[in-house]
Amino acid sequence: MNLWVKRTGQLLLAALFLLACEDEASLLGFRNPKSKFDVRFIEFPVHSSVLWLDSVRSSNFYWPNEINRLLLGSYTDEKLGSVSAGFYTQYFPTTTAKIATNSTLDSAVLQLKLDFYTYGNITMNPIQFEVYELAKQISRNSAPFYFNKTTVPTGPLVGSGSLIINPLEFRNKFDSAKKDTVLIRIPLSSAFSQKLFNAALRYANGTTPQDSLQWRDFSTFTKEFKGLAVKAVSGDKIVGIDPVHFESRIIVHYQNPTLDSQTINIPIAGNAITSFNEIKSDRTGSEVEVSQYFTDFDPVTGLRCVQSGVGLFTKLDFSEFISFLESDTIPDIAINSAELVITDVESTEIFRSPGELYVRLLDPDNRLKKFNRQNTPQARDRDLKIMNLYNNSTRTLTADNFVVNPDSVLTIFTETSTNFNLGYSASSNSYRGFFTLFAQELAIPETDKPRFRYFILYPKNGAKTVNRVLFHKDKIKLRVYYTLPKAD
């Protein structure tokens, strides 16, 4: 079906709907007992399962509109098991200023600015953590993306600390436009501090190009200073850190020859810097003790869940709706309204439900349906054709950007040209969202146009948060209002 015919068909559907409204009354003002159209409602059950994806990208500094966050801490959920989060980050001096030749080191600290994100227990128990040097380089050149399950070998312990916050106060500030500055300062070992200070001295006193490169060239600097790993030791909550803020940095304190106290600031953010979260989970003994990636899992309790950070999601199967559309008794259907609803969502003071869930497409093998996933010209042409056939009700989406790139997955667009997501209502403990245009596209048969059956509920900021939501499999419904022409 070409685009002109397709658009004409859609206009005819709209015209039929308008005629249906006009046909309700005769010219004399009486209701027409022989309406040519029949408006109906049907509620479809949505089959589902729990799905564990093998990895969720947790890298920072990739797409412009994406949140950048480092996570630190741990918590235990009686339904889903335990979760722990730590992070890896590079650092690099940006100043070209040289310190005085006879300067002496005082100390160095790793300073991190909290962004007020927190999840887990609401008590004021401490988070214990440790800081290590990396024993292996991390780089965007060798690995463009890093994931929640990525582990990097570490070297010596260079620091440790603890953090106590008021979670309820943090939640209020997180939701507020006005935020104070709350910092963690972690003293770094004398050996590590001295090594870093010696590099600054070499740059100041250098006599060869290599002396300058060692401090000013990123690739040369990171061969010696590979980065830091910050790992949670214990705790009952996870907090967020803003790596982009200028307060998040290594601070080297030293004295110049006149005994004036000076500092060298070394940021943990920048165009070339790599940082990402490592998020681990242990579901042993929980209701979702799923052990295999990409495999449908149906807990005996009927529990369904979406858990950010660890790749635990709910798969949706629209086969009941597709079978309805493919029935010979449903010709020329016009979808008036299509709404996906999840009711009786479990939300507690400790484990608050996320504000929205995205609906993304799945391939039959339970992988996210990415644009040109096979990375071939044929796959690219196929996916471009599919997107055109769906009249832009499906598009690629990465971190809320409408762009095609290696992280892209096909995502439903709504009639308002926004990505399809389910909004959460705390008053009704439910998620709901409309995707009428996409449902109508599913209803229109065309050559080479697939009718998508499988979808996944996917959290916003998938590996930059650890929020979870729970609900029962029987509480997922697809509600459709549609119009059919009556037979003569």
| Per-residue confidence (pLDDT) for residue 201, from 0 to 100 | 94
Q: How confident is the model at residue 235 (pLDDT cuts 50, 70, 90)?
A: very high
- The total of structural domains in the chain comes to 2
Strands 303-307 and 261-267: unpaired
Residue 236 buriedness (CB in 10 A; 0-12 / 13-18 / 19+): middle
Residues 84 and 200 both lie in one domain:
yes
On whether both 145 and 182 belong to a single domain, the answer is yes
Residue 401 confidence (pLDDT) = 43
Query: What number is the average pLDDT over the span 286-307?
Result: 96
Question: Mean pLDDT over residues 221-231, rounded?
Answer: 97
**Residue 154, SS3 per DSSP:** strand
Sorting pLDDT into bands at 50, 70 and 90, what band is 409?
confident
Contact 346, 80 (CB under 8 A): no
- Same structural domain for residues 77 and 199? yes
Check whether 10 has a pLDDT greater than 80. Answer: no
Q: Which of 261, 282, 303 is the last residue of a domain?
A: 282
Domain boundary among 282, 308, 343: 282
Q: Is the pLDDT of residue 402 over 50?
A: no
Q: Are residues 255 and 163 in the same domain?
A: yes
Q: Rounded to whole angstroms, how far apart are CA atoms 85 and 186? A: 18
> Do residues 385 and 414 both lie within one domain?
yes
Same domain, residue pair 41 and 110: no
**Which residues fall within 8 angstroms of residue 337, CB to CB, at 6 or more apart?**
434, 436, 479, 480, 481
Residue for token digits 């590099």? 199
What is the residue range of 460's domain?
3-52+293-485
57 within a domain of the structure (yes/no): no
3-class SS of residue 142: coil
pLDDT at 1 (0 to 100): 42
**Residue range 178-194: average pLDDT?**
93
Q: Is residue 60 part of a domain?
A: no
Sign of CA dihedral 154, 155, 157, 159: negative
**Are residues 319 and 269 part of one domain?**
no
Is there a single domain that holds both residue 121 and residue 202?
yes
User: Could you tell me if 141 and 260 lie in one domain?
Assistant: yes
pLDDT attached to residue 488: 63
- Identify the pLDDT of residue 419: 82
Letter for the amino acid at 167? Answer: P
Domain boundary at 251, 282, 313, which?
A: 282
Considering the domain architecture, whether residues 241 and 322 belong to the same structural domain is answered as no
What pLDDT is stored for residue 4 in this prediction?
A: 40
Q: Is residue 288 part of a domain?
A: no
Would the pLDDT of 386 be above 70?
yes
Q: Please check whether residue 179 lies inside any domain of the structure.
A: yes
Q: Are residues 224 and 334 in the same domain?
A: no
What is the distance, to the nearest Å, from the Cα of residue 8 to the centroid of all Cα atoms in its chain?
38
Q: Which two tokens stand for residue 6?
A: 């397709």
Q: What is the pLDDT of residue 372?
A: 78
| Average pLDDT value for residue range 327-335 | 82
Q: Do both 297 and 278 map to the same domain?
A: no
Under DSSP, is residue 280 helix (H, G, I), strand (E, B) or coil?
strand
CA–CA separation, 249 and 163 (whole Å): 17
Q: Which pLDDT value is given to residue 2? A: 41
Residue 260's pLDDT band, with cuts at 50, 70 and 90, is confident
Tell me if 410 is assigned to some domain: yes
Indicate yes or no: pTM above 0.75.
yes
Helices first, then strands: H and E counts in the chain: 8, 24
d(CA 147, CA 62): 13
Mean pLDDT, residues 181-199: 97
